Structure 1
Amino acid sequence: MRLYFFNPDSDLALADNGTNYIAPASARRMAQDLALLPVWYAGADSAVLAPSAYNADFLRQMRELFPLQAVLATEPELPDYAGAEVLPWGWNPAVRSYLLRGGICESRLPAPRLLAAYRPLSSRLRAVEVTRRIRDCYPRYTCGEHYLIDNMADCGRIVDAMHVCLLKTPWSGSGKGLNWCLHGFTEPVSRWCGRVLREQGCLTAEPIYNKVEDFALEFYSDGQGGVYFAGYSLFSTNEHGAYAGNLLASDGQIEAVIARYIPLDVLMRIRASLRTELAAIYGGIYIGYLGVDMMICRREGVEEYVVHPCVEINMRMNMGVVARLFYDNFVASGSTGRFCIEYFPINEALRARHGQDIRDYPLVVENGRVVSGYLPLVPVTVRNFYRAYVLVR
């Protein structure tokens, strides 16, 4: 038996690194609203930890259309899964403590010493190392500069020298922990840097590139030294850098998009180099998905494109993998679409948009696969502020 658990605050919990970490209200809201999301990638003999009632009703409706095999598990039922293999969105000391208190056997959870090893491997600093090595191998086709900063003097010097740059904390959630520094080392930037250095010990600075596409290479690490390519992710972000959605398309179609900008053989060589790098860093210690976020960037002043080979490494489940698995398992051949996560500050606005999408994009499902239309992936209720859905055309 496998037990899946959606904890999207995992990176924030790693930044805190405490067993009693409490997520911000927005992260707790997202975790509750999207708790049922793992049913779309959980296999047979599995359960998804989520609140009951409305999730149970929604799951029954979805089973009439799709071959979903996971069952619903509620918090009071955790002792029933004491010996299950637990698969959270991401590992951290707080989620281990929560599951242990809930009744999961300690032998089924990563040891504290292993989680201590996971923390630096989950940091954005790993992307600094990998980017440098990939750039050395493919200087003609790549970009990507990262400056590691561990004191205020260097912070001021580097930011003023770059003037326009993006500062990042080592650990943070999607779109969080970013400071778009557009006017040099101002007083607000100085305060932000000081706080990050006190709390996390360092930060990184990098240029703001002329980005034309966000994409990712998804891998799976078996913990025995093997890392395997698991598919492509072509995604979009909002103006703050937070994840917005994924293209639902085949790996071949996404490859064709990337090949508009760089030769396909170069992409294959970079992919092989990344797999080698990941195997050396993660392959012998970590079991689970690894997402390498990348960018296609345009060189300033010329019609020439390069790839940033390692913007970030996500050592956890991620939305790109969810979109990849959903397309492969639940979208009809020949159809394409979008997988999206959206936040609404007002519940009534979310429900109004949900109702409008149902009317505008009628759902057509054949043989357990979406041919076209709008499909919510989690229930939309009077309490939601987040929704996850696909729109297939």
Structure 2
Amino acid sequence: MSRNKFPKIFVYNPTCEIAIANGTVSYMPNKMLSRFERDLDVLPMYFADENDVILVNQLPDRDFRNLIEAAGILLPNFKPFDECIQDKDFIISAKESLEPWGWSPRIHHIFKHLKDSCQQEFKNRPNAYWNDKHKDLYSRKKALEVLNHFLNKADSNLYISKNQIAKVCYSLAEIKGLIETCKQIVIKAPWSSSGRGLQVLRQSHLNDSIIQWINGTLDVQGYVMVEPLLNKKYDFSFQYHIDEKGKIEFRGNGYFKTNSNGQYDSNILGGMPKEMKEFLSDERMQKLSGGIKQALISCGIAQNYCGHLGIDCMLYSDQKGEMKVQPCLEINLRYNMGTLALLFDQYLHHDTKGEFKVHFQPKSTFDQFHKEMVKNHPLKWKDGKWHEGYLPLVSFNQNKLFGAYLLLSRLNKHF
């Protein structure tokens, strides 16, 4: 039985924040980011009902579809992106809603002819149509506002102190001043995601390439965010959904890994890693998620956005060696890998842990990687649930440079 009478229309556009920073409807991602979007364009299928439509650049092949169906996932409909947005019958056919990975002026422009055929509930969403005020919602400055609101209300020394949070800098001179104070810093572009658009300075020196990056970011985006480099131990997130009326629902926690430069590496499946449980009790997590929820309302996000969102957080060690929480590093107003990881968790056996990873090896393809993994790590089931092994999440016969997959392990094994 389908969840809805009319289909939701999904498309994968993870470059939405960069498109917002650009601001034009004609923005095009660079060659590598375009390839990333194309290669992983089926990922919204895991949020979809069998009646929904995923707009893709290349239809998934039969081998992949068979494998995913065998894994117990119902397949939605796949249709060619370029053809559909110009097809008169598709344009006027009744739809429940449009569900891009994230909104931007560009995707609003691409979808403009499809909106009239959506249901009124979609049209009533505060972000069903773009306006210039939306841009600031997606900025790291807005995340800083939410963080400040949370810290002003918090009554615990568990959280980061005000003198350790980000500062807004409008000039190179301001940044140099903060380097003298903090020594090691992180410089972030206001609009970026997944650890892109940032520079990590472990030495208190700005070389020519970093100065060029700063000046370029200041010219395009107007300012940068600068914060002390913290001794990070673990990354985690809070996942929410805001409905058409501004009601926020907490969906769960995400746990993920980043590399030494802060770029996204993978999501951890199967709940909170045991190493974190010593510091983050259920009670603390509930209090934290509730406080962030209130901050989202007080700072106007709930009233001006509808859809999924994730709050990235950090558990770090301060100068005294005490564990502290940075409760709002950034806000991802879109579908994100954390929401996807929560969805996969429901398929896992209770004694299974795993990782959800994006594959990229410059001199290889996902097709080659798949052949090795399916041979060495076949997917195994237990009690009707995924128990251990490898599961590809995108087609593996289409010469993809990027891929996505799960790698699962039993809890009594080292993962």
> Please, which of 104, 112, 116 is the counterpart of residue 92 of structure 1?
104
Shift of residue 384, structure 1, vs aligned partner: 0.9
Contact 1:65 1:368 in 2 (8 A): no
**Bigger Cα displacement from structure 2, 30-39 vs 238-247:** 238-247
**SS across alignment from 1:353:** helix
Count of aligned residue pairs for this structure pair: 385
**SS across alignment from 1:336:** strand
**SS across alignment from 2:21:** helix
Contact 2:104 2:130 in 1 (8 A): no
Answering whether residue 21 of structure 2 is matched by residue 4 of structure 1, we say no
- For residues 48 and 60 of structure 1, the distance between their equivalents in structure 2, rounded to whole angstroms, comes to 17
- For residues 301 and 284 of structure 1, the distance between their equivalents in structure 2, rounded to whole angstroms, comes to 40
CA deviation profile, 1:1-42 (whole Å, cap 9, x unmatched): 101111111111111011000101111111111111111121
> Please, which of 153, 162, 166 is the counterpart of residue 173 of structure 2?
153
Shift of residue 278, structure 1, vs aligned partner: 1.2
**Which residue is 2:349 aligned to?**
332
Task: Decide whether aligned partners of structure 1 residues 150 and 106 sit closer, same or farther in structure 2, where only a CA change above 3 A counts.
Answer: farther
Shift of residue 180, structure 1, vs aligned partner: 1.0
**SS across alignment from 2:286:** helix
Answering whether residue 132 of structure 2 is matched by residue 125 of structure 1, we say no
| Paired residues for 1:72-91 under 5 Å | 72-75=78-81, 76-78=83-85, 79=87, 80-82=89-91, 83-84=94-95, 85-91=97-103
Contact 2:61 2:397 in 1 (8 A): no
**Which residue is 2:260 aligned to?**
239
- For residues 133 and 384 of structure 2, the distance between their equivalents in structure 1, rounded to whole angstroms, comes to 41
Answering whether residue 294 of structure 2 is matched by residue 276 of structure 1, we say yes
**SS across alignment from 1:176:** coil
Whichever residue aligns with residue 8 of structure 2, its letter is R
Whichever residue aligns with residue 68 of structure 1, its letter is L
Contact 1:347 1:382 in 2 (8 A): no
Shift of residue 57, structure 1, vs aligned partner: 4.7
Answering whether residue 401 of structure 2 is matched by residue 385 of structure 1, we say yes
Contact 1:93 1:112 in 2 (8 A): no
Whichever residue aligns with residue 229 of structure 2, its letter is I
**Which residue is 2:182 aligned to?**
162
Shift of residue 300, structure 1, vs aligned partner: 2.1
Contact 2:48 2:76 in 1 (8 A): yes
Answering whether residue 266 of structure 2 is matched by residue 248 of structure 1, we say no
**SS across alignment from 1:333:** coil
**Bigger Cα displacement from structure 2, 291-300 vs 181-190:** 181-190
**Bigger Cα displacement from structure 2, 167-176 vs 155-164:** 155-164
Task: Decide whether aligned partners of structure 1 residues 381 and 240 sit closer, same or farther in structure 2, where only a CA change above 3 A counts.
Answer: farther
Contact 2:59 2:79 in 1 (8 A): no
Task: Decide whether aligned partners of structure 1 residues 115 and 45 sit closer, same or farther in structure 2, where only a CA change above 3 A counts.
Answer: farther
Whichever residue aligns with residue 77 of structure 2, its letter is V
Structure 1 gap ranges (5+): none
Task: Decide whether aligned partners of structure 1 residues 321 and 335 sit closer, same or farther in structure 2, where only a CA change above 3 A counts.
Answer: same
**Which residue is 2:236 aligned to?**
215
Contact 1:226 1:279 in 2 (8 A): no
**Bigger Cα displacement from structure 2, 234-243 vs 131-140:** 131-140
- What's the RMSD between the two structures over aligned residues? 2.3
**SS across alignment from 1:116:** coil
- For residues 7 and 60 of structure 1, the distance between their equivalents in structure 2, rounded to whole angstroms, comes to 25
Whichever residue aligns with residue 158 of structure 2, its letter is Y
TM-score, length basis structure 2:
0.86
**Which residue is 2:308 aligned to?**
289
Whichever residue aligns with residue 84 of structure 2, its letter is E
> Please, which of 212, 216, 219 is the counterpart of residue 191 of structure 1?
212
CA deviation profile, 1:161-196 (whole Å, cap 9, x unmatched): 222100001001322110112333524233322221
- For residues 179 and 74 of structure 1, the distance between their equivalents in structure 2, rounded to whole angstroms, comes to 37
- For residues 362 and 40 of structure 2, the distance between their equivalents in structure 1, rounded to whole angstroms, comes to 16
Shift of residue 69, structure 1, vs aligned partner: 3.7
- For residues 165 and 185 of structure 1, the distance between their equivalents in structure 2, rounded to whole angstroms, comes to 10
Shift of residue 205, structure 1, vs aligned partner: 0.5
